[in-house]
Amino acid sequence: MSAAVPHRSGAAPAGSRPAEARRSSGNSWRVDLRELGRRAGSMHELDRTLPAPEGWKVELIGVPEGAPVRLRLRLEAVMEGVLVSGEVDAPLVGSCARCLEPIEDTLSLDVQELYAYEGSTTEETSDEDEVRLVDGEHLDLEPMLRDAVVLSLPLAPVCDEDCSGLCAGCGRRLDDLPADHTHELSDPRWAALAERFASSPGTPGERNQEEN
């Protein structure tokens, strides 16, 4: 029997704050396992919707902070720990990597992850960063779900598989422009004229001296 004390003492600057104080800062992603117990085969369904934490994103797309994340998970006590499996749905917001149009989408993911008991064979035979652990009587779903979500996000999301991107000439969306959209090279004489007008300094001089 291992004493189920979460080893997280030290470090807290305010010194002797009880663990409850930190826990009540609202980590609803932590699941209480006392009801599930440790008897292999015991099972618990979890159906909840939680606001997304920050950081569930990659450069161009992600789950907006606070957006509703729906969890439908099954927690199953097995010999080595707790097996978590099920579905996660979360709204996505981002922009198209080709044309920069806003994208809205819904992410639906299947997850499956073993949280090993401390002292279990799985824990002892795995590298520290390869195994998730049951933390005393709890397990924290957030890091596992964040990893699953972030890994599934596209690095180059598109508004449409066929998105043609932006016109190199004018920067507008090609899909919004007629199919024959091109930029004619203008007659060099007109170009020179246009340039002169563009750079002529409006009404030069006169007004400066004209004080009453």
The residues of the shown chain that bind Zn ion, judged by CB under 5 A, are: 96, 98-99, 101, 159, 163, 167, 169-170
Residues 92/84, Cβ–Cβ less than 8 Å: no
Residues 63/89, Cβ–Cβ less than 8 Å: no
Residue 98 or 132: the one with the smaller Cβ distance to Zn ion is 98
> What is the CB-side half-sphere exposure of residue 123 using CA atoms within 13 A?
14
Residue 31 or 99: the one with the smaller Cβ distance to Zn ion is 99
Kindly state the smallest distance separating residue 155's Cβ from Zn ion, in Å. 15
Kindly state the smallest distance separating residue 167's Cβ from Zn ion, in Å. 3
Q: Classify strands 102-116 and 132-133 as parallel, antiparallel or unpaired.
A: parallel
Kindly state the smallest distance separating residue 212's Cβ from Zn ion, in Å. 50
Residue 14 or 185: the one with the smaller Cβ distance to Zn ion is 185
Residue 148 or 163: the one with the smaller Cβ distance to Zn ion is 163
Is the C-alpha dihedral spanning 6, 11, 12, 18 positive or negative? positive
Q: Classify strands 30-32 and 102-116 as parallel, antiparallel or unpaired.
A: unpaired
